[in-house]
Amino acid sequence: MRIIVTGGAGFIGSAMCRYLVGTGGATVLNIDKLTYAANLNSLDAIAGHCQYQFRQADICDRADMELAVTAFQPNAVVHLAAESHVDRSISGSDAFISSNIVGTYTLLEVARAYWSSLTREAADRFRFLHVSTDEVYGSLAEGLFSERSPYAPSSPYSASKAASNHLVAAWHRTWGLPTLICNCSNNYGPYQNPEKLIPRMIISALDGKPLPLYGDGMNVRDWLHVDDHVRALDTILRRGRPGDIFNVGGLNEQTNIAVVERICALVDRRRPANAPHRRLITYIDDRLGHDRRYAIDASKVTSELGWRPQRDFAMGIESTVDWYLDNTGWWKPMTNPSPRRANGALEAGEEKEAGLKT
């Protein structure tokens, strides 16, 4: 397969590129704008591979996207490019509307024109996989989110993702574009940006800094290891039927305080000189519109496609803590970036620094 991955220098996108090239045997074109959350060093493992290409581009630039698609001739597009940080969407939503809504619309139109130009056989094989979030469903008091749950987004981020989901569904229903949608639960694992909860807590604990928790710390999330997620995406891409929607979760509900306390205990064992790290936990005012609980019913993707998560949270979080301890060279430049390395990319002519990367 020839697959375009948008946002392939981000956390989930880079994992998807590494998986498709290293395990899936696909030829991949990674399209990424290289904003602050991107880091090309996450792709070091495949950077020189003959089946991997990179193009720095904005998905909102229709002419550039048309050039990329025409030149690469993909069998599929995996659309992961998105602004995804809730706090940033509250303090400034413009980028979320542009990337998540306008960017998705632009890609859909480019994909539709390309798909319409294909032979019947190639058009039947083509897929557009849109990767979204369980946050489109809002907050959950009890039970689980299913693919039939109504949308009730709480933040500008989740509202922009809900809007993009509606666009993707409409392009399938109106024109027959062979789309797929995946709504996933919270991802974690190696190469995640330090602004996210789990890496932030690991890094702050190592540095002896406060570990800030919103509200009472009892907000619940279903944690999905990024490696399990990309296996699900590959399965959906290859076996899902056009128009299908799948919810993908890790079956690992945890309160935020339980996650942070587990991280502290793991860091205590590995860095006992500064233990107990739990003393660094600090409760702060709750986030505006903070959803209380997310939980995914993944029975559809399990029963229809045979996917299920392979990593339980205890194993996954331990390996994640170890990765951040062993890869300080990757995350330190992201916690104190110079202006020219704010997005992890190097300027032309610079020598690449060793050891650098959802």
Residue keyed to tokens 């996450």: 42
Does the active-site annotation cover 283?
Answer: no
The backbone region for 206, taken as left when phi is positive above 0, alpha when psi lies in -120 to 50, beta otherwise, is alpha
Task: Tell me which of 32, 83, 135, 234 is the catalytic residue.
Answer: 135
Task: Tell me which of 105, 137, 157, 294 is the catalytic residue.
Answer: 157
Does the active-site annotation cover 66?
Answer: no
Which helix H or strand E contains 109, and what residues bound it?
A: helix 103-116
Does the active-site annotation cover 157?
Answer: yes
DSSP secondary structure letter of residue 350: P
CB count in 10 Å sphere of residue 25:
9
Residue keyed to tokens 């130009």: 117
DSSP secondary structure letter of residue 101: I
CB count in 10 Å sphere of residue 172:
20
CA separation (Å) from 178 to 67, 253, 282?
21, 33, 47
DSSP secondary structure letter of residue 169: H
- Write out the DSSP string of 42-100: GGTTTTT-TTEEEEE--TT-HHHHHHHHHHH--SEEEE------HHHHHH--HHHIIII
Using DSSP, how many helices (H) and how many strands (E) does the chain show?
13, 12
Task: Tell me which of 32, 58, 83, 134 is the catalytic residue.
Answer: 134
Q: Which residues are catalytic?
A: 134-135, 157
